[in-house]
Amino acid sequence: VSALQPLTIIRVGGKEVPYYFGEGVLDHAAALVDQHAGSGRRIVVTSRGVELLTGPRFRASFGGAVTETVIVADGEESKSFETANSIIGDLLNAEARRDAVILALGGGAVGDLAGFVAAIYLRGIDLVHIPTTLLSQIDSSIGGKVAVNHASGKNLIGAFHQPRAILADPAVLRTLSRREMVSGIYEALKGGVVGDPSLFELCESTPDALLACDREAISNLVRKAVVLKAKIVNQDERENDQRRLLNYGHTIGHGIEAASGFSGLTHGEAVAWGILAANAIAVRRGMLASSVASRIEQTIRCFDPAPIPAIDRGALQSAVSRDKKFRTDRQVMVLPREIGRCEIVEDVSAQEIGFGIEAILN
């Protein structure tokens, strides 16, 4: 185990968070948790489906040393204040103290929920992320954002809480559905356009290998995407604007999710449509060559995103302007100049948003 070296170290908020990646990381979870986190009880928070798939391997790693396992329902519905409160009840029953460690084993929903509990329980206890979806390995486990949803919107109740470590094993991705794979691939593709052309090219040139969860292709994708996000999050300390670049595709993407009641599309699919809308706006502004926009579009379409659910244009437009990043009558959006270089544009008009929306609805 001492041979295991982190893929990268995420430096944020004065903390150093090691990110471990590789086949077999899950089997070393116990030792890595011992190495990086407190000595108290190990409490696993996971979801039903993930527990069935990864539980046995995970328990073998801990040799029965996990004191408590809290199982929630799969997916977004668990990301609520009510579930968080019920987990807190379980922690109190288990007499978890300040030195307890929460192990968040699952996708981004479990990570955000368990991380939120770790942030507030006894004013904060140790957290280790063990992400099991592609999206959570490359995105949600990195950066320290944790949250639950409110009836009136996603992620409205949250905190920053850095994990002690992130343990990502690509072997667990093989059981993901095609759509969950694609959701993560789109988030990686976004990262490529934001800051790493070679990451974009990987999505462009090896779609079949990625979809088949080919070892080498997926490892390359995760490595590049993680290093890119770590770089942006690291810079953020000095220049706290950079992180906003990661919102490329998300302004209109979030609007689509909200206007369709968060059903019908995966998050990554909504972001993919959001990217196409943002690109249309960028082309119209003369920022982006239409040939580059077509190249991005072809790559996105190659993974076959589910179509946007039938939503009303007006409802979508107002959902976009209700997004919490919205400031004035002018919208802040991330727009690309080329593959690997995006810009934060502060003055996108409602009319331009309407144009972007038209470009993706038919």
Ligand X SMILES: NC(=O)c1ccc[n+]([C@@H]2O[C@H](COP(=O)([O-])OP(=O)(O)OC[C@H]3O[C@@H](n4cnc5c(N)ncnc54)[C@H](O)[C@@H]3O)[C@@H](O)[C@H]2O)c1
Residues carrying an active site annotation: 123, 145, 187, 229, 239, 243, 247, 250, 254, 267
Residue 315 CB, shortest distance to ligand X, in Å, is 21
Q: Which among 72, 163, 55 has a CA at the least distance from the CA of 113? A: 72
Torsion of CA 218, 221, 227, 230, to 10 degrees: -90
For β-strands 331-338 and 341-348, DSSP reports them as antiparallel
CB of residue 230 to ligand X, shortest distance in Å: 13
**Is 167 in contact with 25 (CB distance < 8 Å)?**
yes
- Residue closer to ligand X by CB (options 160, 304) is 160
Contacts for 214 with CB less than 8 Å, ≥ 6 apart: 206
138: which DSSP letter?
I
Residues making contact with ligand X (CB under 6 A): 47, 49-50, 53, 74-76, 79, 106-110, 112, 132-133, 135-136, 139-140, 143, 145, 154-155, 172, 175-176, 180, 183, 267
In angstroms, give the least distance from the CB of 133 to ligand X: 3
What is the token pair recorded at 154?
Answer: 């996603």
By beta-carbon proximity to ligand X, the closer residue of 132 and 293 is 132
| Shortest distance, position 287 Cβ to ligand X, whole Å | 26
Residue linked to tokens 């919490």:
324
Round to whole Å and give the CA distance between 142 and 136: 8
Cβ proximity to ligand X, 136 vs 299, nearer residue: 136
**String of b and e for 82-95 (b: at least 16 CB within 10 Å)?**
ebbeebeebbeeee
Q: Which is nearer to ligand X, 112 or 126 (CB)?
A: 112
- Structure tokens, 292: 């580059």
Tokens representing residue 95 in the block? 């007499």
Q: Output 48 or 295, the one with its CB closest to ligand X.
A: 48
Q: Listing from the earlier edge strand, what are the strands of the sheet with 126-131?
A: 8-12, 15-21, 165-168, 126-131, 101-106, 42-47, 68-72
Q: Which is nearer to ligand X, 112 or 352 (CB)?
A: 112
Q: How far is the CB of 147 from ligand X (least distance, A)?
A: 7
Name which of 93, 153, 91 is nearest 119 in CA terms: 91
Nearest approach, Cβ of residue 111 and ligand X (Å): 7
Report the distance separating Cα 51 and Cα 110, nearest Å.
12
Q: Which is nearer to ligand X, 176 or 189 (CB)?
A: 176
Q: What Cα–Cα distance (Å) separates residue 326 from each residue in 10, 221, 241, 329, 345?
A: 28, 31, 15, 8, 12
Q: At what angle do helices 178-195 and 290-302 cross, to 10 degrees?
A: 160
Q: How far is the CB of 330 from ligand X (least distance, A)?
A: 25
User: CA 300, CA 307: separation in Å to the nearest integer?
Assistant: 12
Q: Is the dihedral of CA 261, 265, 267, 270 positive or negative?
A: negative
